[in-house]
Chains A and B, each alone.
Chain A
């Protein structure tokens, strides 16, 4: 406890500057200077509010049908509207309980900068459902004026009027699950739509007035050749989305794909072929003016996903709904993955008056998270911040451990104007492709090898 309270104080003067650093879109050099400037002023700011989330994730588990590669917590094929209602009731109850707990504890909650409704397929909900959710949130927190409000929508699950209604509720960003423009592949993956419906959905959203659209693509699908993937990328580019996510297929054992296919073995592309697809996406999209700001994410300069960046910067966020994860008060908690147990859990939460029964992450775990998540981003991790949070010696260990990777061309060192080492990042695409290997070797030589009892906290 002692450690954690001193820790909160310590973070108190770092966090605000961190936030400013992250919320602006400038080159790292200028950012770091800015950070140094605001460093002094930050000491004066209130210390309690920084752990409070400014982002929220809401999970809607319903889907038309479950894709064959998907291992999310999903309730597929239900048209029973009563079930939707029951779920929404519980979801609202959870939001209410949680936020009133925070309100009681901290009096004033910061405005939401980002709200992300994901799933499942949130677009199967009616506008009434969505409105209730938004209203409930607004009872407790404000939406910041520049807030990013994303909803995941799948082709074939909405029409123009629904799109307009969503937009009227404040949705200003839509992530649309396309996955591929090849009809055979879509069928093979068990998607509920074809490429024609993708174009229709796209037109609907543009007509409804959305100016920030994100499009999901997948590489590494069974029987997918580089040609087919290139074709999908070109078609995606021709739609001129503001943001693109390109995922290399992960084969999960519990899914039908997991039972049918083996990673790297035909009909799945070999390791080399999958790597080629990744490199293809990276080079083609960057050429097109998209910033490759995270391993699988590309965006036009002003349209990087603010919500997802809170994850990668290891900032706190609310999570509501079945299987959703929240990171509040240093507690990382994942909700039950089954409807019934989620309902039960909400009832328990009410009894506990909104407090989560979950241990806080230790400083070591936080450091590991920061490293794992930070190195997913093009901007990498800031050594200044890292040192201040977790100590000089750990920071030095990480720097030392990254040397072989820098030599081999997988990592980059970021220097400031004075020639001081400011940050570490993975190189695109070589470093991104080997992220796991690199992380393991860094962690082995820094955070994993150090015995927790002798954890070097140098800050006093």
Chain B
């Protein structure tokens, strides 16, 4: 057997080189690896049979996708991890090891099928799949893997998918150790009473310190990590052990087939041809085609048209049943995603359950920004159509029309967070070919007017000048970093109006900070700053906490005497001057010279707090114009005029679309 006689370290290199030099043989190498570990196991257990599917040991519900599976042999699980700790790669290995995906169809990040996900290496929409695994005890188990998005913006979806399983794999990078998101995810898992199976990933790295990380897991998370599987998803090491742990540690689904139907929606999407496809986990009872079902929070009723499972492709079950404990999809002629929100419970109309499963929340936008078509207003309708289509597929987007004197007609769009916003913008650009201008992102402020009435508004230019008693959303912010950077982190958070709530050691030399900080402060490049101040070793995660009063003011920017509403912003009083200066500097850089002196002012109410000016245009003339230059000169003027036509108006001044985008639509 190839590689069997090699010491483990050399074996890693053999596999690595095989991958590097000949990708096609990777599958073969993997296979040989499987055979090797299997045979090693069989030698050690001194048993005769091998664990391949061809053996004739107790055959239970093996490989029959069409029939409901005995609950005892089902394991539903998720994978949770900090970003880049190897979640998607591990999922890939599980798919490959169990032979769920044919080798010729396989590609990396198999469960992420949006282009943006693949490019950025992140998971946005969850995929679910079933894996058949014959365990060493000889039984064949059905493992349902529900992949989860990794980013904080989607933490609600993570929590819903965790509610659909009984256990989860906690993947921790063996060199980086426990990070902020690891903690946040474990908290979510514990909330859902899940069995946590720790996995130390990337043990092949020279910097891996599995022992230290084990200790961290025990210390911070409070679970016993001594049994943690030491794996390398990249090279397929430890995959079988992980599968064994899943089978043995994660409990089979509870619930009763006889009970009234209770199914949790953990995801849904809109298909142009088939309508809404709903992904569910059946908690109690069973769901059949032809059944009249009710969505409990929305109250909508539908007749189930199709029932199926995910392999990860959607496969319709001809038997038409999805039973207690199973994961699958249904199709019921639902027209809108809003009728089947994630987290809702499906029940049967004839024999309804008493109450829905707990934990449902409507998706709530945290970050808002204005999206405007970059050139003409004819694109406004295109943008509307695109947003409508997108919201069919992503129920967490909210939008309403808005018009701005500077940017024209557009929409105020609400997002779950910054990543969500970027992804939506990217999708609008890519899938609908829309060139967009974006106004600076902002949060929703609460304020009172002079009459004492409360208002909520996210668009700074719509906040009246008499607004007072501002309140803004605060988040709980977790940062984990090596202790040598604690000064830098404390300073960063203090300068962003954060208050330190808690601080403790995660392990030797690594600290966990807990801050309470305004959401607005973490929106723009805060994460980058955490990364750069800790030389990449810091990690962060945050979660909405509450609305709290803040000493905020509305800062207006006047260009040549006119207040430009697109440039207004809400800032803390102490930061007003700095922010005003910053905007003015930027304007000064981008606004070209005009025939008049352009005065730039930052103001609170009618009080000017900072100002600067742009010199008047001095010279715009062609020195030479003789017989041969006349046509050229005419062309030059026409070109200049065409350039001028493209200019965008900002009060009295005009500037190029690029400069306009840079000034009004702040880059972040």
Q: Which residues of A contact B (CB under 8 A)?
A: 57, 247-250, 271-272, 274-275, 278, 295-296, 308, 311-312, 317, 319, 323-327, 332, 334, 365, 368-369, 372-373, 376, 408, 410, 432-437, 439-440, 443-444, 448
The answer to whether A434 touches B623, judged by C-beta atoms less than 8 angstroms apart, is: no
21 pairs from A and B in contact (CB 8 Å cutoff): A57-B627, A248-B621, A278-B619, A296-B623, A296-B624, A311-B626, A311-B627, A332-B630, A334-B628, A372-B625, A372-B630, A408-B595, A410-B595, A434-B595, A434-B621, A436-B621, A436-B636, A437-B617, A440-B637, A440-B641, A443-B637
The answer to whether A274 touches B627, judged by C-beta atoms less than 8 angstroms apart, is: no
A248 partner, pick from B595, B615, B619, B641, beta carbons under 8 A: B619
A311-B625, A440-B644 known; A369+B630 contact, CB < 8 A:
yes
The answer to whether B619 touches A372, judged by C-beta atoms less than 8 angstroms apart, is: no
Residues in A neighbouring B633, C-beta threshold 8 A: 372
Separation of A311 and B632 alpha carbons in the complex (Å): 14
A311-B625, A408-B595, A434-B595 known; A274+B619 contact, CB < 8 A:
yes
Q: Which residues of B contact A (CB under 8 A)?
A: 593, 595-596, 615, 617-628, 630-631, 633-634, 636-637, 640-641, 644
B620 partner, pick from A57, A308, A434, beta carbons under 8 A: A434
The answer to whether B593 touches A271, judged by C-beta atoms less than 8 angstroms apart, is: yes
Separation of A268 and B617 alpha carbons in the complex (Å): 17
Residues in A neighbouring B641, C-beta threshold 8 A: 440, 443-444, 448
The answer to whether A271 touches B634, judged by C-beta atoms less than 8 angstroms apart, is: no
Residues in A neighbouring B620, C-beta threshold 8 A: 433-437
Separation of A248 and B625 alpha carbons in the complex (Å): 12
Separation of A439 and B618 alpha carbons in the complex (Å): 15
A437 partner, pick from B595, B623, B628, beta carbons under 8 A: B595
- For A326, the closest partner residue in chain B by CB is B627
The answer to whether B625 touches A433, judged by C-beta atoms less than 8 angstroms apart, is: no
How far, in Å, is A382 (CB) from chain B's closest CB? 19
The answer to whether B640 touches A440, judged by C-beta atoms less than 8 angstroms apart, is: yes
Residues in B neighbouring A410, C-beta threshold 8 A: 595
Residues in B neighbouring A443, C-beta threshold 8 A: 637, 641
Separation of A201 and B606 alpha carbons in the complex (Å): 67
**Which has the most chain A C-beta neighbours within 10 Å: B593, B621, B623, B626?**
B621
Separation of A183 and B343 alpha carbons in the complex (Å): 82
The answer to whether B618 touches A325, judged by C-beta atoms less than 8 angstroms apart, is: no
**Which has the most chain B C-beta neighbours within 10 Å: A247, A308, A410, A440?**
A440
The answer to whether B640 touches A327, judged by C-beta atoms less than 8 angstroms apart, is: no
Residues in A neighbouring B617, C-beta threshold 8 A: 271, 434, 437
Separation of A57 and B628 alpha carbons in the complex (Å): 10
How far, in Å, is A343 (CB) from chain B's closest CB? 19
Separation of A188 and B308 alpha carbons in the complex (Å): 80
A311 partner, pick from B596, B630, B634, beta carbons under 8 A: B630
B615 partner, pick from A272, A274, A278, A308, beta carbons under 8 A: A272
**Which has the most chain B C-beta neighbours within 10 Å: A247, A334, A435?**
A435
How far, in Å, is A151 (CB) from chain B's closest CB? 15
- Assuming A296-B624, A311-B625, A434-B620, what are 8 further A-B pairs, CB within 8 angstroms? A295-B621, A308-B626, A323-B628, A433-B619, A433-B620, A435-B621, A436-B636, A443-B637
A272-B615, A436-B637, A437-B617 known; A250+B624 contact, CB < 8 A:
yes
B634 partner, pick from A247, A323, A372, A408, beta carbons under 8 A: A372
A437-B595, A444-B641 known; A325+B619 contact, CB < 8 A:
no
The answer to whether B595 touches A271, judged by C-beta atoms less than 8 angstroms apart, is: no
A433 partner, pick from B615, B621, B630, B634, beta carbons under 8 A: B621
Separation of A360 and B631 alpha carbons in the complex (Å): 13
Residues in B neighbouring A368, C-beta threshold 8 A: 634
Residues in A neighbouring B624, C-beta threshold 8 A: 247, 250, 296
- For A368, the closest partner residue in chain B by CB is B634
How far, in Å, is B434 (CB) from chain A's closest CB? 30
The answer to whether A271 touches B618, judged by C-beta atoms less than 8 angstroms apart, is: yes
B618 partner, pick from A275, A308, A448, beta carbons under 8 A: A275
- For A278, the closest partner residue in chain B by CB is B619
- For B625, the closest partner residue in chain A by CB is A376
The answer to whether B595 touches A319, judged by C-beta atoms less than 8 angstroms apart, is: no
Separation of A319 and B627 alpha carbons in the complex (Å): 9
- For A118, the closest partner residue in chain B by CB is B626
Residues in B neighbouring A437, C-beta threshold 8 A: 595, 617, 620
Separation of A217 and B631 alpha carbons in the complex (Å): 24
- For B630, the closest partner residue in chain A by CB is A369
How far, in Å, is A84 (CB) from chain B's closest CB? 22
Separation of A444 and B643 alpha carbons in the complex (Å): 13
- For A435, the closest partner residue in chain B by CB is B621
Separation of A439 and B595 alpha carbons in the complex (Å): 13
Residues in A neighbouring B630, C-beta threshold 8 A: 311, 325, 327, 332, 369, 372-373
**Which has the most chain B C-beta neighbours within 10 Å: A57, A271, A444, A448?**
A271
